[in-house]
Amino acid sequence: MGGRLINPVSSLADAKLTPDADSEVLQISGGHQLHGHVRISGAKNSALVIMAGALLCGDDCRIRNVPLLADVEKMGQVLSSLGVQIERHGETLDINAKDFCSSKAPYELVTQLRASFFAIGPILARLGVAQMPLPGGCAIGARPVDLHVRGLQAMGAEVQIEHGICNAFVPGSSRRLKGAKIYLDMPSVGATETLMMAAVLAEGETIIENAAREPEVVDLANFCISMGAKIQGAGSSTITINGVTQLHGTDYTIIPDRIETGTFMIAAAITRSELLLSPVAPDHLIPVIAKLQEVGVSIIEEAADCLRVLPAEHLRATNIDTLPHPGFPTDMQAPFMSLLTLAEGDSIINETVFENRLRHASELNRLGADIRVKGNTAFVKGVSHLSGAPVLGTDLRAAAALVVAGLAASGTTTIQGLRSLDRGYDRLDLKLQQLGAKVKRVSEIINSPDVGSNGVVSPESVITS
Ligand code: UD1
């Protein structure tokens, strides 16, 4: 690789994450229309797992369209800690895992970034041994890894969980995993990805039944295929992998982020604005587009990778059940709830994927929404308007939901919890500013200062910005 060797983590941080996302808030002066064109970044969930997938080969891997995110930084740190070289040039990452030798990922990182646990698959496939701290639960639920572990055991790995560490090794002189028939109790995205990566270098054929069908699983499969892996059926419920002994380097471009796309569609719908979005993959957004149309929003396919969102005259209520792909994505549930707070009539949202993913409802109520939560169901009664207030984003998509609600609310909405937002949205505040939103990131505030009509917070009300 010819580029400058960098610590990808701090460099990404320098480029994006202003002083300390914990002490910062986002101030939104709502009620303004948006206009223009949004450039959609590469998919976070593809980028993270494809970075882990680069461990599968010892040649140069170039990954393009990598979003600028805190989670990508952390995954870079995990790879560096394993002895992998990473260089970043803008949105391109060059990864070389030739000298990758450590099988032990650091506890502090894995517990902050669930996707880094998925690296257990390629680590085990390359080295025959892996020690991964258990990622633990998070703000949206317990999030176990039993399906990952059971699948690896079916492929011949011996796995012991002790002192919070998942210790896995492959017995035998070849230290090579063996192909197996694996049935997943539920179509877990992460388990499908872990096992697919493990199977790529295993001996013989692996069949994953009830596999996740998410576009990011297909993206990972295509990345592995571009390195010489033999994978069939990704995107369906049955994935067949024929193990090979070695993979070669590649140059691969990540798909557009469907959740970022959906979030901007909702930002357009909730502010009654027209927006153009590209590059996008409309096929990945079928359930989200269908629900937007159901509430009255028009979506026009301007080109194969470009969508135009036209506002509804009246927003209508609808019901949503989150489901594995191709059902309605759980990652869009929170932002869509924001939209439904302003729809005429009663909506019901049923979260079926994660057990604790409705915490944004009470924050939306602080903005004047009328939402009642019972178990994993939210009953949303449409209101005529929202009004700004200080709120807290408890997880990544909850924070995004509050941002879109703040765009529609009258007065100033002050959002805490930007660390969550920065994990998964590539410069969201800057992109919104470019669309005309009055959004400002500030370090510390006194008495919730007002954002002026030009989007600038008055200097006397801000200690640092
Ligand atoms: C991925 C996405 C996340 C998205 C989720 C569902 C990444 C980095 N994250 O998370 O943004 O919200 O898919 O689309 O890609 N489960 C088990 N045992 C396991 C694994 C999962 O019981 O071993 C359960 C989970 O608790 C959850 C359900 O399966 O209830 C789905 O989770 P899963 O698809 O695995 O989500 P992640 O891969 O963690």
Report the pLDDT value the prediction gives residue 259, as an integer from 0 to 100: 98
Question: How remote is the CA of residue 378 from the centroid of ligand 1, in Å?
Answer: 21
Mutate-to-test residue for ligand 1 from 146, 152, 188, 257, highest number of ligand atoms within 8 A of CB: 188
pLDDT-derived band at 142, boundaries 50, 70, 90: confident
Question: pLDDT tens digits, residue range 259-291?
Answer: 999 999 999 999 999 999 999 999 999 999 999
What pairing do the DSSP bridges indicate for beta strands 165-169 and 158-162?
antiparallel
Report the pLDDT value the prediction gives residue 451, as an integer from 0 to 100: 46
Burial 351-388 (b: 16+ CB within 10 A, else e): bbbbebbbbbbebbbbbbbebebeebebebebbeebeb
The predicted model gives 409-436 an average pLDDT of 94
Check if 144 has its Cβ closer than 6 Å to any atom of ligand 1: yes
251 C-beta neighbours (distance < 10 Å), count: 12
Confirm or reject CATH 3.30.1360.70 for domain 21-39+256-444, answering yes or no. no
The predicted model gives 117-137 an average pLDDT of 90
Q: In the structure encoding, which two tokens stand for residue 51, read together?
A: 């970075």
Ligand 1 atom closest to residue 424's alpha carbon, by position in its atom list: 11
Whether 25 contacts 445, CB under 8 Å: yes
pTM to 2 decimals? Answer: 0.92
Report the pLDDT value the prediction gives residue 7, as an integer from 0 to 100: 46
pLDDT-derived band at 191, boundaries 50, 70, 90: very high
Residue 209 has pLDDT above 50, yes or no: yes
Query: HEC string of 101-158?
Result: CCCECCHHHHHHCHHHHHHHHHHHHHHCEEEEECCCCECCECCCCHHHHHHHHHCCCE
Report the pLDDT value the prediction gives residue 108, as an integer from 0 to 100: 86
Q: What is the Cα–Cα distance from 405 to 388, expressed in whole angstroms? A: 9
The CATH 3.65.10.10 portion of the chain extends over 21-39+256-444, 44-253
Mutate-to-test residue for ligand 1 from 166, 189, 197, 351, highest number of ligand atoms within 8 A of CB: 189
Question: pLDDT tens digits, residue range 454-464?
Answer: 433 333 333 22
Fold of 44-253: UDP-n-acetylglucosamine1-carboxyvinyl-transferase; Chain (3.65.10)
Question: pLDDT tens digits, residue range 85-126?
Answer: 999 999 999 999 998 888 888 888 888 888 899 999 999 999
Using alpha carbons, select from 108, 161, 117 the residue that is nearest to residue 143. 117
Residues marked as catalytic: 138
Ligand 1 atom closest to residue 193's alpha carbon, by position in its atom list: 38
CA atoms within 13 A on the CB side of 427: 19
Q: For ligand 1, atom 15, name the residue with the nearest CA.
A: 45
Please state whether 235 falls in left (phi above 0), alpha (psi between -120 and 50) or beta.
left
Q: What is the Cα–Cα distance from 418 to 22, expressed in whole angstroms? A: 7
Question: How remote is the CA of residue 310 from the centroid of ligand 1, in Å?
Answer: 33
